[in-house]
C-alpha cells in the first residue's frame, strides 16, 4: 500500500474510482436500521466505512420514499477518506488521508 501523507484534495478520475468501489447497505445495528457505506480510498487504498452521521437523513428518506429497484433513491453526498490508518501530517481532529469527493449514492431495496 502506498504511504500517502495527509493532504486535503479531490480529483475527478479518483472520485470515479471511489464511486465504483462504493457499496451501500442497510444493516441492523443495535436494534435499528443503519445505512452503511463502504468504499476503498483511491489515494491510500485503505478500506473506509461510514455509518452514523448519514443515518437520520438516509433512514428517514428510505422510510418516506420506499426506494425499490424500479424507483431507486439517488442522493448526492460528499464523503471523505476515514480509513483510521496513520497518515503523516494529519491534524489531530481529522481522519484518513484527506481525500474527499462528491459521490452519488443509489439505493434500491426490496
Ligand atoms: Zn488511509
Ligand atoms: Zn485515504
Are residues 6 and 88 in contact, defined by beta-carbon separation less than 8 angstroms?
yes
- Residue 31 falls inside a structural domain: yes
When pLDDT is cut at 50, 70 and 90, the band that residue 59 belongs to is: low
Ligand nearest to the CA of 39: 2
Q: Which residues of 31-42 are buried (b: 16+ CB within 10 A; e: fewer)?
A: eeebbbbebbbb
Q: Which residues, chain by chain, have CB under 5 Å from ion ligand 1?
A: 44, 46, 83, 85, 97
Q: Considering the domain boundaries, does residue 2 fall inside one?
A: no
Which stretches of 22-54 are DSSP H helices? none
C-alpha 32: how far from chain center: 20
**Ligand with the closest atom to the CA of 21:** 2
**Does residue 45 belong to any structural domain of this protein?**
yes
Nearest listed ligand to the Cα of residue 84:
1
What is the tally of structural domains in the chain? 1
* 38 has pLDDT over 90: yes
Domain assignment of residue 23, yes or no: yes
Residue 51 has which C-alpha cell? Answer: 455509518
Inside any domain, residue 66: yes
Nearest to 46 by CA among 54, 55, 38: 38
Q: d(Cα 102, Cα 79) in Å, to the nearest integer?
A: 7
How high is the pLDDT of residue 65? 80
pLDDT of 1 > 60? The answer is: no
Q: Give the distance (Å) from ligand 1 centre to CA of residue 65.
A: 35
Identify which ligand lies nearest to the alpha carbon of 98: 2
Domain around 46: 12-107
DSSP 8-state secondary structure symbol assigned to residue 99: B
Going by pLDDT thresholds of 50, 70 and 90, the confidence category of residue 107 is confident
Is 5 a member of any domain?
no
Helices H, strands E: what count in the chain? 2, 5
Report if residue 29 sits inside a domain. yes
Residue at 54 is within a domain = yes
CA–centroid distance, 86 to ligand 2, in Å, is 10
Amino acid at each position: 500500500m502506498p504511504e500517502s501523507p495527509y493532504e486535503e484534495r479531490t480529483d475527478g478520475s479518483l472520485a470515479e474510482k471511489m464511486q465504483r468501489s462504493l457499496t451501500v447497505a442497510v444493516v441492523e445495528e443495535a436494534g435499528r436500521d443503519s445505512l452503511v457505506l463502504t468504499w476503498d480510498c483511491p489515494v491510500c487504498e485503505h478500506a473506509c466505512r461510514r455509518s452514523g452521521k448519514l443515518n437520520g437523513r438516509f433512514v428517514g428518506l428510505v422510510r418516506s420514499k420506499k426506494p425499490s429497484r424500479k424507483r431507486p433513491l439517488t442522493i448526492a453526498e460528499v464523503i471523505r477518506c476515514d480509513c483510521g490508518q496513520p497518515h503523516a501530517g494529519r491534524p489531530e481532529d481529522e481522519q484518513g488521508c484527506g481525500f474527499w469527493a462528491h459521490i452519488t449514492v443509489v439505493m434500491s431495496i426490496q
